[in-house]
Structure 1
């Protein structure tokens, strides 16, 4: 009767085969991994073209392209910056973002301006209405000024009796004279403020008109309501 040979005689060969298979497998895995990662390509500071299966140390300060196995660019790896370089780049990026934000806001304002004033006739009409409101206030103040002048005449007539020594005038009369002078000063200041307000209104509409003429189509710009009284 045949008996099987002891398995221990073949054990070393089995171990050797297993180890060889593991080494081959590890090598194949490494190759596959490198192929999966792709090839890094860059041109260093000396103008040399360098390729590697991992990020290239000589090109950490510049972009590196990662190529796939077909040679197409899979991604662009940005430079690795120092803290100071990153801070400068962030500051530059912030400035660029601010410029873009201001440009976007300016576009929004231009659209709003066009919606509010589709042509010059509408713009001129609103200017005239704004100025008319100020003129109404000024007219009311001027009427008040006439009344104040009349009151001042009455006070002056009564103060004629005390020309030699105004301090001897009754308290109520001196108080009335003081109030009249204060109201005259307030009146004058208010009229000056209204005149300045008219200037501000005209300046605002003038600035808007410059922008709008650049935004309006020729037909809209031509639709003027005429010269606005300032």
Structure 2
């Protein structure tokens, strides 16, 4: 039994029509007209439907089908919830790592120093190489200026050696610049780690 009402009909009036023991379904059609029935209403398949007990108390509500825009909004909200959940889990993992890896604040700085010492040792080694190769290049250059012009083979050999030493020095200089960039990255990383560690310790007090 389906009844279509074009005005607002009190639900209890409908319920008093002889179906005292049945649940009643209610929804509004595309024109906003109230539809009631003692069984699921086909016209309400894509609309919000309320199910009432025979005493007029709301038993359940069935959500209607989402519009494309509502579906996109729901999907976006779900993606945001999932992203927030992933971030929360990542934060928990980071917190567990920090507390396990750095028992105290001083341990963070000790780890920074250890990382910086390794890079600075590489810089020192390259500077030493530059000094050694610069001395060698200066020596070759001096020898080159002292060679008679009638010894082209020896002159070319000295020039080639001088060029090789220049190239070696340039490579060491490039390595130093790269290691200095590494130093900056290490400091930025440990600055952030230190900050996060302090926040974590403060929040756990």
Alignment counterpart, residue 88 of structure 2, candidates 96, 100, 103: 103
Deviates more, 1:208-217 or 1:75-84: 75-84
Alignment counterpart, residue 168 of structure 2, candidates 171, 183, 186: 183
Pairs aligned (count): 185
CA distance in 1, matches of 2:204, 2:67: 57
Call closer, same or farther: CA 1:71–1:102 in 2, change over 3 Å.
Answer: farther
Q: What is the TM-score when the length of structure 1 is the normalising length? A: 0.64
Structure 2 partner of 1:19: none
2:16 is aligned to: none
> Does structure 1 residue 154 correspond to structure 2 residue 139?
yes
- How far apart, CA to CA, are the structure 1 residues paired with 2:183 and 2:173? 16
Instruction: Tell me what 1:13 maps to.
Output: none
Q: Deviations over 1:163-222 (max 9, x none)?
A: 99xx886222111011011011101111111111111000000011111111114899xx
Q: Quick check: 99-108 or 120-129, which moved more?
A: 99-108
Per chain length, whose mean CA-contact separation is higher, i.e. which structure has more relative contact order (CA < 8 Å, sep 6+)? Answer: 1
Taking only aligned residues, the RMSD between alpha carbons, in angstroms, comes to: 3.6
Which of the pair has more CA radius of gyration? 1
Cα 1:116–1:72 change in 2 (3 A) is: farther
Map of 2:10 onto structure 1: none
Q: Kindly indicate whether the alpha-carbon contact (under 8 Å) linking 1:162 and 1:168 is maintained by their aligned counterparts in 2.
A: no
Q: Distance in 1 between matches of 2:175 and 2:34?
A: 77
Q: Where does the alignment leave 5 or more consecutive residues of structure 1 unmatched? A: 1-30, 221-230
Deviates more, 1:204-213 or 1:50-59: 50-59
Question: For residues 121 and 173 of structure 1, what CA distance do their matches in structure 2 show?
Answer: 54
SS of 2:51's partner is strand
| Correspondence for 2:201 | 216
Q: TM-score, normalised by structure 2?
A: 0.70
Preserved CA contact (<8 Å) 1:44 1:59: no
Larger helix percent: 1
Instruction: Indicate conservation of the 8 Å contact 2:51/2:60, yes or no.
Output: yes
Give the 3 Å change call, closer, same or farther, for CA 87–198 of structure 1 in structure 2.
Answer: same
For the structure 1 residues 174 and 58, does the alpha-carbon distance in structure 2 shift closer, same or farther, using more than 3 Å as the test?
same
What pairs with 1:27-42 in structure 2 (closer than 5 Å)?
35=22, 38-40=23-25
Q: Which segments of 5 or more consecutive residues in structure 2 lack a partner in the other structure?
A: 1-18
Contact 1:42 1:59 in 2 (8 A): no
